[in-house]
Amino acid sequence: MRFPLRLLPLPLAIAVCLPAAAEDKPLSWALCPAGDIVPPFDDAPPAAAGAVARDQQPTEIEGDSLSGTQTPPQYQGNVALVRGDQFLGTDALRFDVESGTYVAEGNVRYQDSGIRIVADRAEGNQDEDTHVITNVRYQLVDRRGNGGAESIRLHGPLGQMHHSTYSTCDPSQQAWELRAQRIDVDNDEGFGVARNAVLRLGRFPVLYVPWFKFPVDDRRRTGLLYPSVSMSGRNGFDYRQPVYLNLAPNYDATLTPRLMTKRGFMLDAEFRYLYGKGRGTFDASYMPDDDLRDRDRGRFSFNGYHNLDAHWQARANVGWVSDDRYVEDFSNRLAGVSASYLQSTAGVFGTGQYWTAGAMAEHFQLTDYTLTDANLPYSRLPRAYVNWEQPLGRWLDAGLWAEAVNFHHSVRDGGRRLDLKPSISARLGGPAWYLTPTLAWRYTAYQLESGLADSLGGDRNPTRSLPIGSVDAGVYFDREVTWGGNAYLNTLEPRVFYLYAPYRDQDGLPLFDTRPFTFSWGQLFRDNRYSGADRQTDANQLTVALSTRLIRQSDGREKLSASIGQIRYFEDSRVVAAGETPVERGKSAWVADANYVVNDRWTLGTSYQWDPKFRREDLASIRARYLWPDDGVVNLSYRYRRGLLEQADASFLYPINQTWSVVGRYYHSLQDDKLLEAIAGVQWDSCCLAVRALARRYVRNREGDLDNAIQVEFVLKGLGSAGQDTERTLRRAILGYHRDDLYLVPPSNTTPDPDDYDPNLIP
């Protein structure tokens, strides 16, 4: 029997009490009981059947018996209404086709692809789209969540719930629950209003909100976000309350009032915009009077881009701070402490199949009070560059690097520089060998300001011109070996690199943006040991290197990789930058690197540099990582570079059991016998609630002053979190935290938006 009866929009009434909070990381429900809080209904159709086109489908009604002809018909016993993925079951149903009224009593059950509900009674009018459901208990199907309500009243897009609850916990382990005396919902507008809402942890109420507005769908809504609370020796009690402003579909803003008991009041603001060809973010902060510094404080930054066409993009990343101690005072990360200046860049950048190009302006602001403006790098106002490299037939490649820069400085004389470097190389090789000879010519010309020219010998237009020749060659050998019962591919990869560049006197050239590279594996194969164009090394040298790898045949993973190399200098290098040790005839330090995967849990690595001339160790690095079961990890490392640093670093995440785990880090400078950072914390996890508490002691400025901080975060799974972002701190401090990302380098302290597509990179 078929009737055009529309089923009750019950999912609307239930889902209104759920905040539309997106999780950055998929939640783990491994500790939750396996059973369903509201078990599936045996007489219901498959959950996904007809979910898309349910509005166009009729409703089928079945029952053990049907009575009533002139009066409204009444279905008795195992009544089932089915439309697409929707199912409504009850013991008894009275439905008046003419008036549209209905009454469902006894064991009322509803299910669709998103929710499962049981209730005592449902009644209403289909024509007027009014419904009342009493004594409701529900379970979400498409995501975890359950709860109940004494009654639900619906009128079209408007809904009202009385004495409702929501939790992602199992009723037998109710770690937290959100209760509301009344919730009003407007589905057309996409928001709900909860009155007298109480958040309970266990049996104890921890948060009472007399009134709050929240979204019920993916549309953004103006309102309060979760606050952040912390305590530190530098700021005191620190409370932040973000306020989100949904200004338009393609732009919004977030205002964050911040109270620090030792400093005062600060206001942070963020404005974001998005359109078809680009996006951007403005950030600003203002503190009218910092009690510790006795002055106004503030900052401003902008990061955004605009795609001009398929090849060109305008892009800017600019920043400003009110004073040279702002970064120290308002950054709690080692990266912030180590920054000596703030870099701002804006320009137009392009890329094609064989070329990249750009025109930009770059400026620096001092952020280290222990330095002066004289220590700042030269600003490049402006800079333009072109890098072109294209095959010429089957065997040859031609290329050109061209750069023009105007160097400006607030306290030092500057000048202009033009750098041209055309090149041609041959691509010779086969499956197991390669030979790449390259010939380049480098021409660099300057226009210097008078004061700088006088300090360098008086020539305001010095130039430098020289050829550069190199030959890069390598061979690949491989063989199949068996080790420990596994098949491996063992490679042996010798490589030689010869470089020749004649000497040119460069004492009359300035040093605008040029520094010697730190000696490393990569420097063995460069044609210049300097980072910029102000110096071009003279060279008559040969690099000999050897690499080997052991690759598991079953999955392609490296069991072992090792490399060693050295440069043989046939002549003294006469080009020397200020403060640089001259490169003399002879042999460079040996550069070695090795990584060994002991098993699926142990990984070892080392880097080493040994100078045979002085018989000394220039660099040493030892790394070890062990993976405990259940996401545990321990990292040990030692780093030494002669004359610069000697550090030890240990970090770990140790799961005591499924519920408890401890975390920690100890980062120490052996050279200065100084603590850099120490973290000790504990984590407690349950089916629906996680708590993380950390104590930190860390260096807060270049003078080595230490600061203390306590961070506590409550994660109500499926609802959100309150407190400091402890996970961000732990992911930076513990390599492989939660082992979801066993990166080789710790992630940046700023998290990029995955939607930001940046086709051009500034070289």
- Rounded to whole angstroms, the Cα distance separating 312 from 754 reads 21
Whether the pLDDT of residue 600 is over 90: the answer is no
- Rounded to whole angstroms, the Cα distance separating 430 from 484 reads 33
The domain boundary residue, chosen from 216, 244, 261: 216
Domain that holds residue 197: 2-216
With H, G, I as helix, E, B as strand and everything else as coil, classify residue 493.
Answer: strand
Section 359-375 average pLDDT:
91
Do residues 41 and 55 make contact, with C-beta atoms less than 8 angstroms apart? no
- Rounded to whole angstroms, the Cα distance separating 248 from 155 reads 29
DSSP 738: G
335: pLDDT confidence band, cut at 50, 70 and 90?
very low
Section 191-214 average pLDDT:
81
Report which listed range, 65-69, 166-170, 378-382, is most confident: 378-382
**Residue pLDDT, tens place only, 430-484:** 999 999 999 999 999 999 999 999 999 889 999 999 999 999 999 999 999 998 8
Q: Name the H helices within 627-683.
A: none
Whether the pLDDT of residue 15 is over 50: the answer is no
Section 97-121 average pLDDT:
83
Residue 661, token pair as written in the block: 């785990």
- Rounded to whole angstroms, the Cα distance separating 354 from 512 reads 29
Per-residue exposure over 137-150, b if at least 16 CB sit within 10 Å of its own CB, e if not: bbbbbeebbbbbbe
**Residue pLDDT, tens place only, 660-702:** 999 999 999 999 899 999 999 999 988 888 888 999 998 877 7
Higher pLDDT, 401 or 217: 401
Residue 636 lies in a domain: no
The domain boundary residue, chosen from 620, 642, 668: 620
The whole-chain average pLDDT of the chain stands at: 84
Q: Which residues pair with 303 in a beta bridge?
A: 281, 317
- Cβ contacts of 397 within 8 Å, gap of 6 or more: 389, 390, 391, 424, 425, 426, 427
Predicted pLDDT at 209: 80
Residue 401 lies in a domain: no
Residue 87 lies in a domain: yes
Residue 432 lies in a domain: no
- Omega of the bond prior to 382 within 30 degrees of 0, cis? yes
Predicted pLDDT at 719: 72
**Residue pLDDT, tens place only, 133-189:** 899 888 877 678 888 889 888 787 787 888 888 888 888 888 888 888 888 877 677
Do residues 87 and 51 make contact, with C-beta atoms less than 8 angstroms apart? no
**Residue pLDDT, tens place only, 494-537:** 999 999 999 999 999 999 999 998 898 988 999 999 998 999 99
Which segment of 215-219, 424-428, 557-561, 714-718 scores lowest on mean pLDDT? 215-219
- Rounded to whole angstroms, the Cα distance separating 403 from 406 reads 10
CATH number, domain of 51, equals 2.60.450.10
With H, G, I as helix, E, B as strand and everything else as coil, classify residue 497.
Answer: strand
What percent of the chain is modeled with pLDDT above 70? Answer: 87
- Omega of the bond prior to 205 within 30 degrees of 0, cis? no
Residue 494 lies in a domain: yes
**Residue pLDDT, tens place only, 219-270:** 777 777 777 777 777 788 888 899 999 899 899 999 999 999 999 999 999 9
Q: Residue 729: which of 752, 713, 714, 716 has the closest Cα? A: 713
Section 375-380 average pLDDT:
94
Report which listed range, 40-49, 131-140, 356-365, 729-738, is most confident: 356-365
Residue 682, token pair as written in the block: 């504990």
Residue 560 lies in a domain: yes
Higher pLDDT, 335 or 620: 620
Predicted pLDDT at 578: 80
Predicted pLDDT at 593: 95
Section 561-588 average pLDDT:
92
Residue 699 lies in a domain: no
Whether the pLDDT of residue 754 is over 50: the answer is no
Q: Which residues pair with 345 in a beta bridge?
A: 317, 362
763: pLDDT confidence band, cut at 50, 70 and 90?
very low
- Rounded to whole angstroms, the Cα distance separating 347 from 445 reads 24
CA-based torsion, 730, 736, 737, 740: positive or negative: positive
Residue 182 lies in a domain: yes
The domain boundary residue, chosen from 620, 639, 671: 620
- Cβ contacts of 60 within 8 Å, gap of 6 or more: 1, 2, 80, 81, 82, 83
Residue 586, token pair as written in the block: 């002879």
What percent of the chain is modeled with pLDDT above 90? Answer: 47
Predicted pLDDT at 130: 84
Count of domains forming the chain: 2
Whether the pLDDT of residue 16 is over 60: the answer is no
Residue 468, token pair as written in the block: 């550069």
- Helix%, strand%, coil% for the chain, nearest 5: 5, 55, 35
Whether the pLDDT of residue 389 is over 90: the answer is yes
Predicted pLDDT at 183: 80
Residue 216, token pair as written in the block: 């019920």
